[in-house]
Copies of this chain bind each other. A is one copy, B any other.
Amino acid sequence: MKKGVTTRERIITKSAELFNTYGYHGCSLSDIMEATKLKKGGIYNHFKNKDEIAVEAFDYNYDRVFRRFRKVLAEATTPLEKLYKVVDAYVSFADDPVVKGGGCPIFNTAMDATNSHPQLKRKARLGIEGLLTYIGIKLKDGIKEGVFRTDINVDEVAGLMIMTLEGALVMSQVNDSKEFVDIASRFVKDYIKNNLVQETEITNT
């Protein structure tokens, strides 16, 4: 309450950045110590081990991702706008990272943990399911409202959007350029417009 954030939160915040930047094995407790200005004991007072920190840091980063989505989608009103904004949110990851280290922390963790940290892998998997669900809901809403075609495979479309935009993020990160996210953004938006949107009016006229 003192400074608005508890020590525990500070540890999570800082290590969330570190884990997203360097990965689980690339980030040591000394790094966390330095970042939090705490000593070993101070950290272990709040967490029983590094894994626990990593797991909570993931949760924190996961939350940040969805905060970003909600924030970017806030002003959108129609399902189409909302879906466009989902794309914009992904683009924003490149301009203004949700967390230091860049990219999408969910995807970053997925790659980092797949073969080395079952617990984090599981979290990452659930995280991606979360993304799928989130986008899925936007799609379903649009279908319900008659904006999107009724024959679209929601899971597939959501999956395609995610893989394209996430893949683009990685490529942009390693390339130090926004080029690929921009390409992905345009492509996905075109795809939405051309393949998801009901062409009722146009056809009818």
A-side residues, CB < 8 A to B, are 21-26, 101-103, 107-108, 110-116, 121, 124-125, 128, 156, 159-160, 162-168, 170-171, 173-175, 179-180, 183-184, 187
Known: A163-B164, A167-B167, A171-B159. A115 touches B102 (CB 8 A): yes
Are A160 and B175 in contact, with the CB atoms below 8 A? Answer: no
Q: Note all chain B residues with C-beta closer than 8 A to A116.
A: 21-23, 26
Query: Of B23, B128, B164, which is within 8 A of A174 by CB?
Result: B128
The distance in angstroms between the C-alpha atoms of A69 and B171, with both chains bound, is: 20
CB distance from A82 to the nearest CB of B (A): 21
* Docked complex Cα distance between A102 and B111 (Å): 11
Q: Are A167 and B174 CB-contacts (below 8 A) given A23-B112, A111-B111, A112-B111? A: no
Q: Within the complex, which residue of B23, B111, B125, B175 is in contact with A128, where a contact is CB–CB below 8 Å?
A: B175
Q: Which of B103, B121, B163, B184 contacts A168 (CB 8 A)?
A: B163
- Closest chain B residue, CB of each to CB of A24: B26
A110 CA to B163 CA in the complex, in Å? 16
Look across to chain B and name the residue whose beta carbon is closest to the beta carbon of A188: B160
- Residues of B near A21 (CB, < 8 A) are 115-116
A156 to chain B, nearest CB (A): 5
For A111, the chain B residues whose CB sits under 8 A away are 103, 107-108, 111-112, 170, 173-174
Of all chain B residues, the one with the shortest Cβ separation from A106 is B174
Interface centre among A25, A111, A174 (most CB of B within 10 A): A174
Which residue in chain B gives the minimum CB-CB distance to A172? B163
State the CA gap A83–B102 with chains docked (Å): 32
A59 to chain B, nearest CB (A): 16
Q: Report which of B102, B156, B166, B175 forms a contact with A170, defined as CB distance below 8 A.
A: B166
Complex: chain B residue closest to A187, CB-CB: B160
Contact between B156 and A183 (Cβ–Cβ < 8 Å)?
yes
State A150–B174 Cα separation when bound (angstroms): 30
